[in-house]
Amino acid sequence: MIIDLPATTTSAINRSLVELRSSGGAVALGRVLTLIVVTDAGHAEAAIAAAIEASREHPCRVLVIVTGDPGAPTALHAQIRVGGDSGAGEIVVLRIYGELTADGASVVVPLLLPDAPIVTWWPVSAPDVPSKDPVGRLAQRRITDAATDPDPIGALDRRSAGYAAGDTDFAWTRITQWRALLAAAVDLPPFEPVTSVVVSGADNSPSTMLMASWLNWRLQCAVERRTVGSSGMRSVVLERANGPISLDRPDGRTATLRQEGEPDHFISLPRRSVATCLAEELRRLDPDEVYGEVIARHSTIAV
């Protein structure tokens, strides 16, 4: 069910939500958090689709702020999506224009679920310091995506300079499985220390940069970052006295894990979707302290 509310107010939106609930349970209770999505018109539907998919694991109220023309007359146009059009959550799309574009927080505050955690996500065009953004200040967790920035590595520099507990980035989320596979491989015999590391990927891949930073921090050894390919992570090689551990994904779908004395392991390792990354980040509402350590160190890795 989709209900359009042109030229409306937050009070009218709240009344509509209450009426939907009382008139037949179209809007169920039991939401575990409020997810605020801040985007533009060109990326709104893709972000909503990802939020719908993530809501099947995390039922939530999704408030989508779609920023319009700041020079247009001030207006708020809303759309409520419930039932089959909203997954396991309820979605309120807020299209703001004019003076409201500078104060999106005032639009979402009356619609927040009471006593529920708040997560803010910028699919594109994130602020340099998310924790100081008016909408970011409302949230316990703030999610950005450096890969969507015109300068992904520069975006990491800004995330590092403006980091606050509760920040995270999909560039980090995309390498969760890589980190798990490498950690498991290092924990197998012969239990030798890693002496050096080579991380390969595209020169504009923020995930490759964060992987190199994480390995440098955790293994306390030299890490070299090499440019290979045009997008994403390609491979990681951990050098040990007994022979290297390598994890190589040449096609973006299937990786090969090679280790001395072991047969090759072929592992499904496709590039993670935005919905999958969002669902993972919504599983934890406490600060990701490991990401905080890694983002602080990322600029020390040479290319």
pLDDT in tens, 33-67: 999 999 999 999 999 999 999 998 888 999 999 99
Token readout for 203 is 């020169």
25, 106: one domain: yes
Question: What residues have CB less than 8 Å from 75, skipping those under 6 apart?
Answer: 7, 96, 97, 98, 100
In this prediction, residues 229-250 reach a mean pLDDT of 94
210, 239: one domain: yes
141, 237: one domain: no
The CATH number of the domain holding residue 26 is 3.40.50
12, 117: one domain: yes
139, 204: one domain: no
Residue 200 placed within a domain: yes
**Domain of residue 21, residue span:** 2-170
19, 135: one domain: yes
Single residue among 137, 170, 203 that ends a domain in this structure: 170
**What is the rounded average pLDDT for all residues in the chain?**
92
Single residue among 154, 170, 186 that ends a domain in this structure: 170
Residue 274 placed within a domain: no
Single residue among 170, 197, 212 that ends a domain in this structure: 170
Q: How many CA atoms lie within 13 A of 59 on its CB side?
A: 9
193, 243: one domain: yes
Report residue 42: phi and psi, to 5°: -70, -25
Percent of the chain whose predicted confidence (pLDDT) is above 90: 81
pLDDT for position 169: 98
Q: First vs last Cα of the chain: how many Å apart?
A: 51
> Is 70 exceeded by the pLDDT of residue 124?
yes
Residue 101 placed within a domain: yes
pLDDT for position 26: 47
Quote the CA–CA distance of 27 and 4 in Å, as a whole number.
Answer: 16
> Is 80 exceeded by the pLDDT of residue 252?
yes
Report residue 162: phi and psi, to 5°: -105, 15
Quick one: pLDDT band at residue 83, thresholds 50, 70, 90? confident
Is-cis flag, bond preceding 190, omega within 30?
Answer: yes
pLDDT for position 29: 55
> Is 50 exceeded by the pLDDT of residue 104?
yes
pLDDT for position 85: 67
pLDDT for position 87: 72
Maximum average pLDDT range among 222-231, 242-251, 293-302:
242-251
Residue 258 placed within a domain: yes
Number of domains in the chain: 2
In this prediction, residues 217-236 reach a mean pLDDT of 92
pLDDT for position 107: 96
pLDDT for position 177: 97
In this prediction, residues 130-148 reach a mean pLDDT of 97
| CA separation, residue 215 to residues 178, 199, 225, 302 (Å) | 11, 9, 11, 13
Q: pLDDT for 261-287, tens place per residue?
A: 889 999 999 999 999 999 999 999 999
136, 162: one domain: yes
144, 180: one domain: no
Residue 287 placed within a domain: no
Residue 281 placed within a domain: no
* Chain centroid to CA 90: 20
Quote the CA–CA distance of 169 and 172 in Å, as a whole number.
Answer: 6
Residue 29 placed within a domain: yes
Question: What residues have CB less than 8 Å from 24, skipping those under 6 apart?
Answer: none
157, 223: one domain: no
